[in-house]
Structure 1
Amino acid sequence: MYEIVLLENNFILLLYCIHMEGSKLAFRKVISEWLLASVPEAHKRNINVSMDSNKIITIIGPRRSGKTYFLYYLINELLKTEPKNNILYINFEDERLMNVTISDMDNIIPLFIELANPSKDKKIYLFFDEIQNIKFWEKYIRRVYDTSKYKIFISGSSSKLLSREISTSLRGRNIEYTIMPLSFQEYLEFNRMEYSNLAGYTDQRGYILSELNNYFKYGGYPEVALEKNDNNKLMILKSYYNTIFSMDMAEHFNISEVNVLDAFMKYSVSIYSKYFSISKIYNTFKSVGYKISKNKLLEFLYDSREIFFLFSLNIYTRSENKKMSYNKKIYSVDPGIIYALKNEMSITRLMKNIVFLELNHRCIENNLDVSYWKEYGKANGKEVDFVVSDSLKIVELIQVTYASDASEIDKREISALLSAAKYFEAHKLSIITWDFKGVIIENNEKIIFVPLWEWLLNLN
């Protein structure tokens, strides 16, 4: 009996040694190829990463938003001052690494040092892409980080590595940056279109508005932005939705009610820039025969936000009870997803969706909050689309309306803005239009009208 156990243990040890040698060989090939290859070119994104921070840099965001190429961009920036042999990039979606386990990870740094001979007087930079493919990856990353010898960058797919999961895993050791589909400014830069100093160039402004129409329709996913064929753009966008639905939602959150989930996601996209009511959705679904609880629908909403498919906007109030009792407004991750699923365009609502996405980015960058305002207790009360605030006061009140001329501005937009300004004692008032620019003074308040394209490009 003892001999059989010994043989079995030796056999297990032999298999373990073979596996370890196999993983070392795989890492050796991947690292060697990295050192010999040139780094792909990557466009700059409107995100400023603190390269001097001693924290782990984590890159999160929705599927296909450009996280890998953002890592390439950071590497290219490092190469301006740092030697290539002090930088390691590994993509854990490489099929040669598919059987790697946490115990194999200890091979990475010794093999890199052996093959690259990095400069001892400089920092070693580790870029680990799709790190979530390694089970218990966080234990290895924490251990390497705690040595204080390496600068670590990680990214992961939203289908398997959520923001809250990273925060839990790394426990305060990381700084998180979110990569979204391209903003309109980034979209123009990707397509190499000049947009500075446009005021005196009517023809150039016309091109910008034409590109804005394209952006409204097909959105800002990098692959879509670079694709020239419109039918291909739509096919790509529909494939994104199918993958988001099946992998990021149904598979990741183990959702069995796939038909209801699909209906929920498509319905939510259809009401972009509008109020979101769980009770209304529940009653609508119930009327067509779907059996689902309100709590489950709330879970769908929460999960959709976790993977960056949907965003919700709260009413502006200091009262948490009022905030919970009022409906949220819903926004889509990208206008292209809206068009691919609905195949129609509501310009005003798309303007609001795009303004929200840009505002959300700016507020995160500047540690501000964005919400909406509505007169309390009035079904048809006055509303302001966006309220930008800090912890103490209202910073700006913003309306969004489709208008190319002063005569097209609905008086209710101005009236609501003035009511909110008086209520909050706020004095920075803006109305984002399609292509009208101007200033009016009313009730001793200055209201600035700015074209959407100019506001998106930070030219105002």
Structure 2
Amino acid sequence: MVLRELYLKRIRPFYHSEFVKILTGVRRCGKSTLLRQISEELIASGISSDKIIDINFENYAYNSLRNPDAFYRHVEDRIEDATGKTYLLFDEVQFVDGFERVVNSFRATHDVSMFLTGSNSKLLSGDLASELGGRTLSFRIMPFTFGEFCDFRGVQGAARASLFDEYLRWGGFPLVCAERDEASKAVVLDNLYDSIVLKDVILRNKIASPHTLETVLNFVVSQSGSTLSGRTIAASLSDQNRKVSAPTVYDYLRAIESACIVGKATRYDVRGKKVLAFEEKLYVCDLGLFQQRKSPVAEDIGHALETLVFNELVARGFKVFVGKIDAMEIDFMISGPEGKAYVQVAYMLASEKTREREFGSLEAVRDNYPKYVVTLDPVTRNRNGIIHLGLIDFLLDEGLLVLG
């Protein structure tokens, strides 16, 4: 089992906090395992197991607790039997109708530290946000990063680079990573995709036309890293004789994003220092899904690498935007508690035109935040204060990317 230190180190400071810790992410990305690791760390720190109430709502043993009254009574009785702070860990809590009021009741009436997981980003909004009134901390959980994939395989040091092509092709879903031959990986990935679409999009959102939803989703996944809107998607599908209206596409995009299948990078005007409410980019949460859905004849290495870096940045806890400066684009402007930085991603800087494009947009930015170009070039060359990083080094060493 891979210790998911990338997330644990950000969650640990709040283990005993009254804030409700919310872990969201696409189905089967490892949220349940992470919750189990939190429980194990609490016990290892001296917390008695009878002060930890751990319920996985996907486990049929707890099926009766999907009723909010039964859920409340079960937990309330156990809290009353404990002394001191109680730790509540509820996995896939969205299966409980009206869980928001129950959760808020525990928080308001008892000394508890609470952790919730769900494969729907709506956990962060709507009724829960209203009930808890800002007393939440959210953490987006992703499938394995490349570094975690190497740990999963037990490969260390320079040998980790030999796993890169496999990761680029099949992504980081733990169930897929556990398979060794490509035929088995493909079967697991296809079934995982179907499960996500059925349970977290179609059924949860009561989609009237599943076929149309799948058409939109396949298009969005295959175009990861592209600038998309409801109108452009509707127009593209209409050109392919698959009619769907822009309002329907927007509804489906909200459902797809809520299921954490894709992440959104909003465009940011670097000169004007403001977020722009148009031309957003969408990135699929896992490269395996992208590779399975993209055109077999298209050369998409650029979009694949951009998606890879976007997901890595999200996994590290950064807020990620697409930078705009005049007519030029910066792949990512990222922000975190330590400051900001800019990141350009490219396959290789094989020509002067490519070098000018990747470095030039960063050179046009007149602030002093760190600037990086990340590529697969075997040799890196910095330029005018802009740091050139090898992609594999960037993925395996968090310390190379510094905010300022």
The two structures have a TM-score, normalised by structure 1, of 0.76
RMSD (CA atoms): 2.9
Mapped pair 1:156 → 2:118:
yes
Distance 1:321 1:455, change over 3 A: closer
Which among 425, 432, 437 is matched to residue 374 of structure 2? 432
Mapped pair 1:348 → 2:348:
no
Moved more, 283-292 or 239-248: 283-292
Which among 215, 230, 246 is matched to residue 278 of structure 1? 230
- For residues 25-60 of structure 1, give each alpha carbon's deviation from its aligned partner in whole angstroms, at most 9, with x where no partner exists: xxxxxxxxxxxxxxxx66224112121322122221
Cα offset for 1:312? Answer: 2.7
Cα offset for 1:170? Answer: 3.0
- In 2, Cα distance between the equivalents of 1:257 and 1:266? 14
Distance 1:107 1:328, change over 3 A: closer
Cα offset for 1:375? Answer: 3.4
Identify the residue that residue 79 of structure 1 maps to in structure 2. Answer: 43
Distance 1:87 1:356, change over 3 A: same
- In 1, Cα distance between the equivalents of 2:295 and 2:166? 13
Which among 321, 329, 334 is matched to residue 388 of structure 1? 334
Identify the residue that residue 88 of structure 1 maps to in structure 2. Answer: 53
Which letter does structure 2 place at the counterpart of 1:102?
P
Which letter does structure 2 place at the counterpart of 1:143?
S
- In 2, Cα distance between the equivalents of 1:303 and 1:53? 31
Identify the residue that residue 174 of structure 1 maps to in structure 2. Answer: 136
Which among 63, 70, 82 is matched to residue 34 of structure 2? 70
Aligned residues: percent identity? 23
Larger Rg: 1
Cα offset for 1:322? Answer: 8.5
8 Å contact 2:265–2:282 — kept in the other structure?
yes
Moved more, 412-421 or 48-57: 412-421
Map 1:306-455; keep pairs closer than 5 Å: 306-317=258-269, 323-325=276-278, 327-342=279-294, 344=296, 346-362=300-316, 364=318, 368-373=319-324, 375-376=326-327, 382-388=328-334, 395-403=340-348, 408-426=350-368, 428-441=370-383, 445-455=384-394
- In 1, Cα distance between the equivalents of 2:173 and 2:26? 10
Which among 88, 104, 108 is matched to residue 126 of structure 1? 88
Cα offset for 1:181? Answer: 0.8
Identify the residue that residue 151 of structure 2 maps to in structure 1. Answer: 189
- For residues 234-264 of structure 1, give each alpha carbon's deviation from its aligned partner in whole angstroms, at most 9, with x where no partner exists: 1111112112222212222222122221111
Identify the residue that residue 108 of structure 1 maps to in structure 2. Answer: 74
- In 2, Cα distance between the equivalents of 1:57 and 1:76? 16
8 Å contact 2:322–2:330 — kept in the other structure?
no
Distance 1:85 1:455, change over 3 A: same
Aligned length: 389
Q: Hey, which bits of structure 1, 4+ residues long, moved more than 4 A?
A: 318-322
- In 1, Cα distance between the equivalents of 2:200 and 2:329? 34
Cα offset for 1:111? Answer: 5.0
8 Å contact 1:42–1:70 — kept in the other structure?
no
8 Å contact 2:93–2:118 — kept in the other structure?
yes
Cα offset for 1:230? Answer: 2.0
8 Å contact 1:439–1:446 — kept in the other structure?
no
Distance 1:273 1:78, change over 3 A: same
- In 2, Cα distance between the equivalents of 1:357 and 1:87? 32
Which among 102, 108, 113 is matched to residue 140 of structure 1? 102
8 Å contact 2:380–2:390 — kept in the other structure?
no
For residue 397 of structure 1, give the secondary structure of its aligned residue in structure 2.
strand
Moved more, 50-59 or 316-325: 316-325
Mapped pair 1:214 → 2:166:
yes
Distance 1:329 1:410, change over 3 A: farther
Unaligned runs of 5+ in 2: none
Cα offset for 1:276? Answer: 1.8
The two structures have a TM-score, normalised by structure 2, of 0.86
> Which structure has more RCO (C-alpha within 8 Å, separation ≥ 6)?
2
8 Å contact 2:332–2:342 — kept in the other structure?
yes
Distance 1:273 1:134, change over 3 A: closer
For residue 167 of structure 2, give the secondary structure of its aligned residue in structure 1.
helix
Identify the residue that residue 27 of structure 1 maps to in structure 2. Answer: none
Which letter does structure 2 place at the counterpart of 1:71?
L
For residue 438 of structure 1, give the secondary structure of its aligned residue in structure 2.
coil
For residue 265 of structure 1, give the secondary structure of its aligned residue in structure 2.
helix
Which letter does structure 2 place at the counterpart of 1:151?
S
Cα offset for 1:136? Answer: 1.9
8 Å contact 1:162–1:306 — kept in the other structure?
no
Which among 23, 43, 53 is matched to residue 3 of structure 2? 43
Identify the residue that residue 6 of structure 1 maps to in structure 2. Answer: none
Distance 1:360 1:179, change over 3 A: closer
Cα offset for 1:266? Answer: 0.8
Moved more, 132-141 or 179-188: 132-141
